[in-house]
Structure 1
Amino acid sequence: MFENLELFITVNGAEAILIVGLILVTGLVLDWVARPLLRRWADAREAIVVEAITIASSGQFTFWTLIIALRLWADQPTAPTLSATTLRVLDIAMVLAVTIFLVRLITNLVDTFLRHRHIGNISLINNLLRGLGALAVGGTLLVSLGVPLGPLLTVIAGSSLGITFALREPLSNFFAGVQILAFNRVRPGDYIRLASGEEGIVTDIRWSDTYLRQLANNVVIIPNAQMITQTMINFSRPEPELNVLVDFAVGADADLEQTEALVLNVAREVLTATPGAVSAFEPLVRFNAVDATGIRFTVVLRAQSYTDQFLLRHEMIKHLRQQLQAEGIAPPTQIVRLQNQVVPAHATHPAETNQ
């Protein structure tokens, strides 16, 4: 492929050195200046394919310009002739460079897609692609060196049954992880709760385990096989927003119209001022019980995610209690039952005892 490249240069040694130097400088400029600029441009516009190509082509321009410069220099009458071994090494290096570029392109396409979709890093996919890429590069190298792959594949196929039996547990977790990703059951960033009680934010899906980070910042490691056999609640699907219910109560003699209007005003202020709240949501108040202590009601708010509900509920209870006290709305009556209480001898009015 390089037989006719010597037509572009003369036998003059100074001109050959100049052309080779320009080729090397061009490769360095493309690799270290133009490529990063193009990558930032593609990242800003979410051009996934272009960005993946720029990432995968890291070092490619420098490598190919070095190969071209070396072959051009070797074609000069005054340059030493490259040995057959050196030419063979260069040919193998070029084949490996193309293979590595293709493997990196596929891997970076997946990484870029996950990042732009805010899915996060998934180790299972990344490691699987890296493993397949390593096999592709290794197979290409063996073929380039003239090593026959047929006997090697026969040995691998013959021992696959024993390997499968010995690794049945890891393989079951591996294919369970593939099923989790294929059916899009969960993805990094989702807040989930399992029937067994474990809950947290999914941080990673690996070969055999799924990692959850609890609100206490602890890590829970769950085998992938359990992730597909247990009942699961995904609080981030189909959307991360959720209603937040805040239970409250007032005295039995409270003015319900006044109470409802006050609670709604407080709820609107809390939704507007609290981080993580859906400020555009119109809150609701529903009276739901009357008993001897007072009247109970529920305030319906809305949070942007599962973890935002705790601060929202905290602010609502704090502000609502303060406003109810300021408006003179009585709290619910407390009924205290006393059993087997010994009345002090100096007590003026003995307490009644309910048996």
Structure 2
Amino acid sequence: MKDLFKSTSSAAAENSWILPVLLVAGGIVVGFIVEKILIERLKAFARKTSWAYDDIIVNALNFYTTFWFTLIGLYAASYNVNFTPVLLGYIHKIIIATAILSVTFFCAKIGVGIIRQYSREKTGDKASASIFVNITRAIILIVGILITMQSFGISITPIITALGVGGLAVALALQDTLSNFFAGIQLLITKQIRTGDFIRLEGGEEGIVCDINWRNTSIRTPQNNTVIIPNNKLSSSKVINYHLPEPEMNFPVLIGVSYNEDLDKVERVSLEVARKIMSEHPAAARNFEPLVRFHTFGDFSIQYNVILRAATVNDQHILKHEFIKQLYARFKKEGIEIPFPVRTIITKNS
């Protein structure tokens, strides 16, 4: 009889774990089904809309849907296990804190995605201003951590007070870092320098702005190297931005012709070639009338500039390349001479 009672108690103990396990497993299964069916349909619907931000919100639900349903299963299962009230209270606090943290990371993912999408729409470049991304992520995570601590019964008022007092000491110790931080914010707010812009610095360095973060700005040079400049140095130096007020850029092509040539003919031929280039080449700015301007009586040639306009600063090189090739061929056809350097040497007999 005693052995029968033990076996009955053991079976009852084993059966007491069946329902909690089923609840947890059920939460995982329901979350998986919701993610694979409902979330996938929401993604398909979001892809059809022209609004990009709904894609960010729906894509952020990946993993979190199954995770949240699993937490719901764990919470329900905890009521069906013979835990002591104190232990049950701790378990509930851990589950709630985990849920708060997961919602925090979910909101941070959405916030970062929105900032990046907004930056992409404003700059037309995939590169994002990571300083705003980092600020957004940090603010959301700090708020989530404080709420999590509050859920454990930890008073956050002394922590906030300590952060305020300690912040002053940190600000004094990190003056250069904070200077770079606020200089980066100033650059982004004024939009005088944006990611994707081609700039030239006072020291001669030039390239495309790849990123503006909390400490420095990264520039990729035409040689495919990276120049890293502290934000406070960049904001206080002279900078030429070739994308402002617009990306299109005028540039001259220097040419010299013989003194024996008819300058009216030279001008006409040069303009014909320039107009053809401007109307056909994809790197040329549209609706621009090229110019010819004679400017110097040189040692062996009359020099002039043909002024063209490229769609961007980087397009000027290929545009100049094609123009010189076509102008040279046209000069040969028209018999227009491009003279070689000539020096006349006069000697005196002794």
TM-score, normalised via structure 1 length: 0.79
More helix by share: 2
* Structure 2 residue 142 is matched with structure 1 residue 105: no
Map of 1:243 onto structure 2: 250
- CA displacement, residues 35-60 of structure 1 (integer Å, 9 cap, x when unaligned): 35644654564413312311332323
Q: Shift of the alpha carbon at 1:274? A: 4.1
Question: Counterpart amino acid of 2:106?
Answer: F
Residues 330 and 188 (structure 1), Cα distance of their counterparts in 2 relative to 1, 3 Å cut: same
Aligned residues: 325
Q: Distance in 1 between matches of 2:270 and 2:45?
A: 50
3-state secondary structure, aligned to 2:178: helix
The unaligned stretches of length 5 or more in structure 1 are: 1-13, 339-350
* Structure 2 residue 65 is matched with structure 1 residue 58: no
Within the candidate set 142, 146, 149, 2:149 is matched to 142
Q: Is the 8 A contact 1:48 1:109 kept in 2?
A: no
Residues 43 and 184 (structure 1), Cα distance of their counterparts in 2 relative to 1, 3 Å cut: farther
Question: Counterpart amino acid of 1:63?
Answer: F
Residues 111 and 64 (structure 1), Cα distance of their counterparts in 2 relative to 1, 3 Å cut: same
Q: Pairwise mapping of residues 165-184 of structure 1 onto structure 2 (< 5 A)?
A: 165-184=172-191
Map of 1:271 onto structure 2: 278
TM-score, normalised via structure 2 length: 0.80
* Structure 2 residue 286 is matched with structure 1 residue 285: no
Q: Is the 8 A contact 2:104 2:141 kept in 1?
A: no
3-state secondary structure, aligned to 1:252: coil
Within the candidate set 152, 160, 163, 2:167 is matched to 160
Residues 101 and 290 (structure 1), Cα distance of their counterparts in 2 relative to 1, 3 Å cut: closer
The unaligned stretches of length 5 or more in structure 2 are: 1-17
Q: Distance in 2 between matches of 1:268 and 1:35?
A: 55
Q: Shift of the alpha carbon at 1:221? A: 1.1
Q: Shift of the alpha carbon at 1:276? A: 2.3
3-state secondary structure, aligned to 2:150: helix
Question: Counterpart amino acid of 1:271?
Answer: M
Percent of aligned positions that are identical: 30
Residues 252 and 335 (structure 1), Cα distance of their counterparts in 2 relative to 1, 3 Å cut: same
**Aligned Cα RMSD in Å?**
3.1
Map of 2:307 onto structure 1: 300
Map of 1:228 onto structure 2: 235
Map of 2:11 onto structure 1: none
Question: Counterpart amino acid of 1:285?
Answer: L
Within the candidate set 86, 89, 94, 2:91 is matched to 86
Q: Shift of the alpha carbon at 1:215? A: 0.6
Q: Is the 8 A contact 2:253 2:306 kept in 1?
A: yes
3-state secondary structure, aligned to 1:289: strand
- CA displacement, residues 163-220 of structure 1 (integer Å, 9 cap, x when unaligned): 1111111111111111111111211110011223221111111221111111111211
Q: Is the 8 A contact 1:285 1:297 kept in 2?
A: no
